[in-house]
Structure 1
Amino acid sequence: MSSDVVIGHDNIKLQIANSIEKGRFSHAHIIAGEEGIGKSLIGKDIAIRLLGKKINKQYVDIIEFKLQKDKKSIGIDDIKNIIEETNKKPYEGDKKVILLYNADKMTEAAQNAFLKTIEEPPKGIFIILLCEKLEKILDTIKSRCQIYKLNRLSEDEMLIFLKNRFPGISKEELKIMNAFSDGIPGRAERFIEDESLKEIRNSTANILKDICQNKIDDVLHNEAFLIKYKGEWQEILTCFLAYIRDILLYKETGKNELVINIDKIDDIKDMAEMFSFNKLSVIINIIKDTRKKLERNVNPVLVFDSMLVKMQEV
């Protein structure tokens, strides 16, 4: 795979390509960004370029370490295995690339154990750490790495990605997927492939309908749905905000073509009649407050319960 087919992040891709071409690519790097933003694609592309290869496939000198499914963190024993691998000579050529996924899941002790290897790996060894939360990486490690922060794609970049990835997609689906993805390509792929996300999208619309119809029992009944998908809280809140955005625009303009969730246009029209601008504004603030609490790892059961109650009381 070439970075040419990785949509967006043009400045970062150019910087990486130039440094590899000129032999100035340093031995340790961190690629940070949200899940689905393209970290693994860029990391794998870097590895292939460093080995001087052209085809995207498995190579014996590209070693990938991932968080085990039954574990929540990467510990010292895992790091010892990685260090052992870095001390082995490349098999085919004179370079080897270590890709460590979920690097922000390393315990502090594991990071400290990895520090010396990151600072001075054996000749020809390159270490690339992929992470979502850069703040969870120790400063001592960050100071020894070149850091690339991947931002969400622009609307135009997302449209290019969606058309390339799903060539048969309709304009209606394109619009919906672009809104749901919120600038993250991986979310758009999950929208097509993951039935749970379709349930999330439908259920968030139903919650808003219950709120505007003052169906208190039905609103609180939805707590079970929110708890079921508590690990997908970002998607849940994104759906809420996308619907509210559509309701606000339709209330103000009455134009169908401005609605992103066009397949829900009848629901959007009904809610536009029943919700006031003030109530929608208050609900937006409730959702923003909910996001802040969940980002601080407050108990999601309590957070979602509070959100539903506050929405109903507006």
Structure 2
Amino acid sequence: MVKSMKFDNIIGHTDIRKNFINAIESGNFSHAHLITGEDGIGKSFVALEAAMNIIGKEIYREYADIVECRIANNRKSISVDQIRKIIEESNKKAYEGNRKVIILHDSDKMTTQAQNAFLKTIEEPPDGVFILLLCENQEKILDTIKSRCQIHKLKKLSDSEIDEFIYNKYPNILEDEKKAVKAFADGVPGRIVSFIDNDSFKEIREKLINIMMDVNNADIETFLKNEEFLTKYKDMWQEILTCLLSYVRDIIIYKETGMDELIINLDKISYIKKLTEVFSYNKLNSIIDIVNNTKSNLESNVNASMVYHIMLLNMKETKSFS
């Protein structure tokens, strides 16, 4: 069991957390770390737990010596001016002890100029200052910064860890909903919260099943109007594509077995049954390829509106009756 001064109910990432705590207690904790992983995987919790241990606190609340920095409102990137403010903050003395922690969320959103401005501070921070960079895509971090950080990749939670997370947070969840939630989460606990608590995600799920129904029914002009909805939720593209793939998976499974109990999205079973009569296996596999290609393009920061337009156009061209 990891000894934690932060959230006792953190689930998963045991080895990384244990190594952090051991290094902090032995005085061997490096001054700069890059923590990577998917959105919702738990980067913030791991970083905050480490920060609490670094400054020697047991009861969590906001502390002046734990400085969390995020992208400014209405901005798509972290600018050099924002980084200069972070550097200025890192040069201020700690308020309570002799240690301060800077946590930079979405560090892969730093502009190249901002990363270059931050480089010297990451390489040689003031005494007692520890810098934790959190990001989804470390490929967007300059090699000069990565070479000066210890890099930690957070892996997806195991099936038993996901069960524990759901039990702790949603003890009264119905078994059918739990099954759907686990499949959608795919080892990422933050997706469970989105599935259950996020009204936007509920709207997305409803819209996506209707998109699947309209692939063969709607005219091309009407069908392509779905681009506007998808683009509105462009920041939730991972949830959109995961949900879409889960529907395709259910259609394939039901075509093969005809068994309700194997379906993930049981609340959409009537739609799933209808769609098994509409799509051939070849067309379903084509849609999987289309969605995966869409994922690659969005990961590469291709314009979301254009990517979704192409996805919908290609899906429409796959229409077929089995």
Match of 1:74 in 2: 78
Match of 1:216 in 2: 219
Superposition deviation, residue 5 in structure 1: 2.0
- Secondary structure of 2:97's aligned partner: coil
Equivalent pairs, count: 313
Task: State the Cα deviation string for residues 89-111 of structure 1 (Å, max 9, x = none).
Answer: 22211211111112122222222
Q: In structure 1, how many angstroms separate the alpha carbons of the residues matched to 2:176 and 2:201?
A: 17
Identity of aligned residues (%): 54
2:171 is the counterpart of 1:164: no
Superposition deviation, residue 221 in structure 1: 3.8
Superposition deviation, residue 3 in structure 1: 5.6
2:313 is the counterpart of 1:313: no
Superposition deviation, residue 226 in structure 1: 2.2
- Secondary structure of 2:277's aligned partner: helix
Contact 1:28 1:118 in 2 (8 A): yes
Which amino acid in 1 is paired with 2:86?
Answer: I
Superposition deviation, residue 196 in structure 1: 1.3
2:124 is the counterpart of 1:120: yes
Q: In structure 2, how many angstroms separate the alpha carbons of the residues matched to 1:111 and 1:227?
A: 29
Task: State the Cα deviation string for residues 270-301 of structure 1 (Å, max 9, x = none).
Answer: 21232221221111111112222222222322
2:67 is the counterpart of 1:63: yes
Which amino acid in 2 is paired with 1:122?
Answer: P
Which amino acid in 2 is paired with 1:124?
Answer: G
Contact 1:3 1:42 in 2 (8 A): no
- Name structure 1 gaps, 5 residues minimum: none
Contact 1:3 1:13 in 2 (8 A): no
Q: In structure 2, how many angstroms separate the alpha carbons of the residues matched to 1:175 and 1:271?
A: 21
- Secondary structure of 2:39's aligned partner: coil
In structure 2, do the counterparts of structure 1 residues 120 and 223 end up closer, same or farther at CA, with 3 Å as the change threshold? closer
2:207 is the counterpart of 1:207: no
Q: In structure 1, how many angstroms separate the alpha carbons of the residues matched to 2:288 and 2:17?
A: 36
Task: State the Cα deviation string for residues 224-263 of structure 1 (Å, max 9, x = none).
Answer: 3223323322222111100111111111112111111111
Contact 2:195 2:201 in 1 (8 A): yes
Superposition deviation, residue 195 in structure 1: 1.3
Match of 2:267 in 1: 263
Superposition deviation, residue 7 in structure 1: 1.4
Aligned residues: CA RMSD: 1.8
In structure 2, do the counterparts of structure 1 residues 307 and 80 end up closer, same or farther at CA, with 3 Å as the change threshold? closer
Q: In structure 1, how many angstroms separate the alpha carbons of the residues matched to 2:44 and 2:114?
A: 22
Which amino acid in 2 is paired with 1:49?
Answer: N
User: Pairwise mapping of residues 39-50 of structure 1 onto structure 2 (< 5 A)?
Assistant: 39-50=43-54
Superposition deviation, residue 170 in structure 1: 1.2
2:179 is the counterpart of 1:175: yes
Q: In structure 2, how many angstroms separate the alpha carbons of the residues matched to 1:30 and 1:137?
A: 10
In structure 2, do the counterparts of structure 1 residues 242 and 103 end up closer, same or farther at CA, with 3 Å as the change threshold? same
Q: 2:38 aligns with which of 34, 37, 58?
A: 34
In structure 2, do the counterparts of structure 1 residues 228 and 117 end up closer, same or farther at CA, with 3 Å as the change threshold? closer
Match of 1:274 in 2: 278
Q: In structure 2, how many angstroms separate the alpha carbons of the residues matched to 1:289 and 1:98?
A: 36
- Secondary structure of 1:147's aligned partner: strand
Q: In structure 1, how many angstroms separate the alpha carbons of the residues matched to 2:305 and 2:121?
A: 41
- Which runs of structure 1 show a deviation greater than 4 angstroms over 4 or more consecutive aligned residues? none
Superposition deviation, residue 4 in structure 1: 4.6
Which amino acid in 2 is paired with 1:272?
Answer: T
Q: In structure 1, how many angstroms separate the alpha carbons of the residues matched to 2:10 and 2:33?
A: 19
Superposition deviation, residue 27 in structure 1: 0.9
Superposition deviation, residue 25 in structure 1: 0.6
In structure 2, do the counterparts of structure 1 residues 182 and 85 end up closer, same or farther at CA, with 3 Å as the change threshold? same
Match of 1:232 in 2: 236
Greater CA drift, 169-178 or 296-305: 296-305
Which amino acid in 2 is paired with 1:193?
Answer: D
Match of 2:289 in 1: 285
Q: In structure 2, how many angstroms separate the alpha carbons of the residues matched to 1:91 and 1:105?
A: 29
Which amino acid in 2 is paired with 1:31?
Answer: I
2:25 is the counterpart of 1:21: yes
Contact 2:228 2:305 in 1 (8 A): no
Q: In structure 2, how many angstroms separate the alpha carbons of the residues matched to 1:238 and 1:61?
A: 38
Q: In structure 1, how many angstroms separate the alpha carbons of the residues matched to 2:9 and 2:241?
A: 30
Which amino acid in 2 is paired with 1:53?
Answer: K
Task: State the Cα deviation string for residues 1-44 of structure 1 (Å, max 9, x = none).
Answer: 53652211122112112211222111111111122111111111
